[in-house]
Every structure is written in C-alpha cells, then in structure tokens.
Structure 1
C-alpha cells in the first residue's frame, strides 16, 4: 500500500491511494483442457518470432527493399515481435509455473507495452494503406509524396502518439485505489478489467472516458481511413483501361488487404458481440486476435508479395553459395 497524505493534523484533507502488492490474473483458469491451448500458443509464438525476424532480416540486407513501403513493413514486423513477446511468455509462465500473481508495477508495465505494440500494429497498417492509396491514385507523384523522410516522420509521429496514449492510460490507473478484489478477469493486465476493480473505491470516470477514446483512436479511426482509402483505390482501378494493368495494381494491395482483415475483423467481431458470447469463448477469441496476426503477417508477405519473395530467394541462394564455397576453400 502507498499512502499519499497531506498534513497529518488536517485529517479532513487526507487522500489515500491503496496500491496492492500484486494482482491475480484469472486468465484461462476456469477453461478445461487449456494445456493444449498453451502448446498452441508456444507454437504460434515461435513462428511469429522466426517469421518476423526473417522479414526484418531480408528487408535490412537487401538494398532493393530499402523503400518507404518496406520501412513500414519492417516497423510492422518489429511491432509484431515485440507485441508477441510482451504477452505470450507471461501466459506460458502462468501455465508452466502456476504464477498467476503479478506485481502492481509489473502489471502496469505489461499493460503499457501490450497496448503500445497493439496500437503500432494498427497505425502501421494505416500507413501502409496510405502508401497504396498514393501509389495507385497518384502514381506520378508517388516518389514526391512518399519519401524516406516522410515515412520516417510518419513512423516517428505514430510511435510518439502511441506512447502518449498508453502513458495517459497508465497514469490514470495509478490514481486509483484498489481496496477490494484483486482478481483481474482476463488473461493479462487488461485496462478495462483493471480499472473496474477500483470502481467501488475511486472515481473511474476518466478511465471510462479513455477506455472509449482509445479504441476509437487505435481501431475505429484507422479502420475508417483504410476503408475510405480502398474506396478511392477501387475508383482509381476502374479508370485504368488495360485489364492487365488493373490486375497488376490490384495485386500490390492483396497482401495489405489480408493483413487488415486478419487484424480488424476478429477483434471487432468479438467486441461488438461480447454480450452474447460466453465468457470463456470471449477470452479465447480475444487471445487469438492478439497472437495470430503477428504469426500470419510474415507468412502473408512471404507468399503474396512477389518483390519480397524474389529478395528472399536471392538472399537464400547467396547464403547457400557462400556455404558451398567454404568447404572448397578448406580443402
């Protein structure tokens, strides 16, 4: 507990903040046969780590991919790796060692980083939609509007804004007193279940406001922008006279469209229908929306983007050639 007090002689002005030493994360504790799900989570995490690291390595090593578009792809892969690492290892730790307890400071730190990287995944998809919008609707001005400098500025602004939003959410939690239940009804230190624990003891109105504001900024505004950009892209595609040019332009959008669908559709489906979905099913669905997109993003880019596939093949063949040369030189 931490007590913030004024003059001890002025008891009428005493303001007490109760901060517990730990919280208990109920997580998947009441869901049967969860050992299989934890094995699945471990598999998903390994694939996410390997896949996104591979994407970053290919982009870093191939100079032909040092374009503004692939700066955003690199940033998305980085956010995916960090987001998975912020969540999945703790879930596995809870299962393997039955460590459902998490300290107050660790809980707020976990909340900050999980939501930070979730926010950056959404912002990165928005920036990639802007890249496709300019490339198809204003192809002659693309290299003037989407430059390395402008992309780094967009990325820097996105990171700074995401950090500000998450710090605001965490700071509003620190002003709350937790005087009753310490059981978080989620699989991680989720913002909503956390501030609701303090509702009987503190004014949670600012937390409620930020809980409605953040999804609008992080999910709904980017989603509206992406939908609007693809409406403009669709209109621009119909103005292209040659069918092969139209198909070629559309192919440049397919990987991004799949990423958008994987990221936004499941989370919106779960949130809009949360009142009719059973609690256990809702927890599983939300956990899947957190861990599956980081695993699928690199797979989609490897399989659906010809430019990236060619770069990956070139680097892999170069590696094999280097390995073949070493034994010859040693003999």
Structure 2
C-alpha cells in the first residue's frame, strides 16, 4: 500500500518565462489543435483509402494515434499551468499521467523501430517483402510494441507509485515527470533511478541501435542502385522517417539517458516542451507534405465525396 501522505501535487510549470505565459498559451493551444487535426487526418485518410492500407501506412496510423494520446496526456495540463498561478493535480492523476506518458512514448519509439525494419525489408528484400510483411504480421508487430512498452514501464512506475511523498508536494515541472517525482520522495530513490536508467537504455538506446543498423543496410543497398533516379526514389521513402527519428531521439537522449535524473535544467524542460508539443505537430507534415501517395489519396477521397454529393443532389 502507498505510504504517501500527499493527496495532490502542485505543478510549477515554466516559471522562468512567466511574462510570456499568455503568448505561450496561445501558441501552445494552436500547436496542440494542429497536432490533433494533423494526426487525426492521417488516421482518417488511411482508413478510407484502400490504396494506403499497406504496411507502411498501417504503422504510420499507429504512430499518429500514439502522437494524439502522447500529447493529450501532457499538453492540456501544460496549458493550464500557463494561465493559472497555482495548478494542482491529484495524486492518482499524477501517477496515471506519469505511466501513460512513458508508455505512449516508449510505444512510439518501438513503432518507429518497426517502421525502420519495414523500410529495410521493402528496399533490401523487395522480393520477399510481400510474403514477410503481411497484414497479420503488421498487426502482430503493432500489438507487440504496446505489450513491450507496457511491461517495461509498468514496473518502473510501480516503484514511483509506492514511494512515500511526505514532504513537499511541489513538482518542479509542467507534468509528473520521473526526475521531479524522485526529488520529492522522502526515501532512497537509487533503485527507482537505476530502473529508470535501465528502461531508458533498453527502449531508447536499443531501438536507436536497431534503427541505425537498419538504415546502414538501407543506405548500402540504395548506393548500389545503378540509376540516380532509382536511388532518389528509394531514398525518398525513408527521408520522412529519418527526420522524425533524428528529432525525437536527440531530445530523448538529452532528457533521460543520463546517470542522475534529478539534475534537471531549463534546457531539458524546454526540450520536454518541444518533445510533447512541437514533434507531434510536425510529424503529420513531415510524413505527408511531400508524399505523393497521400496527395493522390486525398484527391481521390475528395473526388469520391463530390460524386456522392452530386448523386444525392440529382436524386
């Protein structure tokens, strides 16, 4: 049973930019709406367009759904801290936010890794690709990312849940992140911090290594394609994924892959804001703005909609 005497926590937010909070609230709300609409658009267009129901877009739909969940776990409370001088969150809500934030984040990294494996098979093993990456395999891989992330994060968060918080209840962050929670515990947090570091190494470092190896093989295969047009076409299918991976892993390694998680700074808090607001907003644009297949699918969907409206009009 939890020994904590704290019933709620106070979220500090971003106090070092207090004079700009109203401006940041408007910008943050706009970015959050765009993130929801953009990722929601990916879910809808893949669902209604049969030509996009391929492994790559099935995984992309998973990523879009995760982005919606991930940003919704944190951003509404972040926006509240920008317009209220005292933002509280109940103990159980704080623990739930901590759990879901890391679960969705971990699943997102695993999905990105599966997407790199999908690109590896498509480019390096094109003849075997249709036989290996079937629809059933896609769903199994997608479910596996959820299961693995849930298992890894559950045991880490269980230790945080059972920590006694009997001193201050002021969380020096805009959400219930691991580092500020450790600093509030009135017990030795060495085991919890060690497990947190191991979880970060397991999910962040191993998935990054797997993705890196996949892309070394992909680039090696692309460079052996004789025609420049063929190389450009092959590499264009990976560009969006590479950009997203670079942005996400860069921020995560700066925030979580370090020995002392309690050593927070303004820099890491800014990175957390970018990771929870900016990246989910940019991802739909990165994956769709130069994607010919998506543009064709949108035109087809609009055309079908117009045909249905015309048929209803003339009935």
* TM-score under structure 1 length normalisation: 0.87
Residues 266-285 of structure 1 correspond to what in structure 2 (within 5 A)? 266-269=251-254, 279-285=265-271
Q: How far off is 1:110 after superposition? A: 0.7
Residue 296 of structure 2 is aligned to residue 310 of structure 1: yes
* Count of aligned pairs: 312
| Alignment match, 2:64 | 77
Deviation at 1:81, TM superposition (A): 0.7
Q: Distance in 2 between matches of 1:68 and 1:130?
A: 11
Contact 2:3 2:163 (8 Å CA) reproduced: yes
* Shift in Å, 1:217: 2.1
Equivalent residue runs for 1:90-239 within 5 Å: 90-198=77-185, 201-239=186-224
Spell out the pairing of 1:238-277 with structure 2 (5 A cutoff).
238-269=223-254
**Alpha-carbon separation, structure 1, partners of 2:96 and 2:257:** 28
Instruction: Report deviation, 1:233.
Output: 0.7
- Unpaired segments of 5 or more residues in structure 2? none
Structure 1 position 160, deviation (Å)? 0.8
Instruction: Indicate if the aligned counterparts of 2:200 and 2:257 stay in contact, CA closer than 8 A.
Output: no
Q: Which secondary structure state, in structure 1, belongs to the residue aligned with residue 17 of structure 2? A: coil
Aligned to 1:7: none
Kindly tell me: are residues 272 and 31 of structure 1, through their superposed partners in 2, closer, same or farther at Cα, counting changes over 3 Å? farther
Q: Which residue in 2 is equivalent to 1:301? A: 287
Report which of the two structures shows the higher radius of gyration computed on alpha carbons: 1
CA distance in 2, matches of 1:97, 1:193: 20
Is the Cα–Cα contact under 8 Å of residues 201 and 257 in structure 2 kept in the other structure? no
Structure 1 contact 255–305 (Cα < 8 Å) conserved: no
- The 2-side partners of 1:280 and 1:213 are apart by 24
Q: 1:262 to 1:313 in 2, by over 3 A?
A: farther
Superposition RMSD on alpha carbons, in Å? 2.3
Q: Deviations over 1:42-72 (max 9, x none)?
A: 0111001111111000000011111122111
The worse-fitting range, judged by mean Cα deviation, of 236-245 and 50-59 is 236-245
CA distance in 2, matches of 1:147, 1:208: 40
Sort the Cα spacing of 1:164 and 1:269 in 2 relative to 1 into closer, same or farther, 3 A: closer
When structure 1 is superposed on structure 2, of 261-270 and 80-89 the one drifting more is 261-270
- Residue 319 of structure 1 corresponds to 305
CA contact (8 A) 1:72 1:151 kept: yes
SS at match of 2:89: strand
Q: Give ranges in structure 1 of 5+ residues lacking alignment.
A: 5-15
Alpha-carbon distance change, 278 to 194 in structure 1, aligned in 2, over 3 angstroms: closer
- Quick one: distance in 2 between partners of 1:24 and 1:254? 42
CA distance in 1, matches of 2:303, 2:287: 19
Whole-angstrom distance in 2 between the partners of 1:156 and 1:99: 39
2:168–2:184 Cα contact (<8 Å) kept: yes
1:270–1:202: structure 2 CA closer, same or farther, 3 Å change rule?
Answer: closer
Asked if 1:23 is matched to 2:12, the reply is no
Kept in 1: contact 2:81–2:174 (CA 8 A): no
The 8 Å contact of residues 25 and 83 in structure 2, kept in 1 or not, is answered as no
Rounded to whole Å, the distance in 1 between the matches of 2:38 and 2:167 is: 43
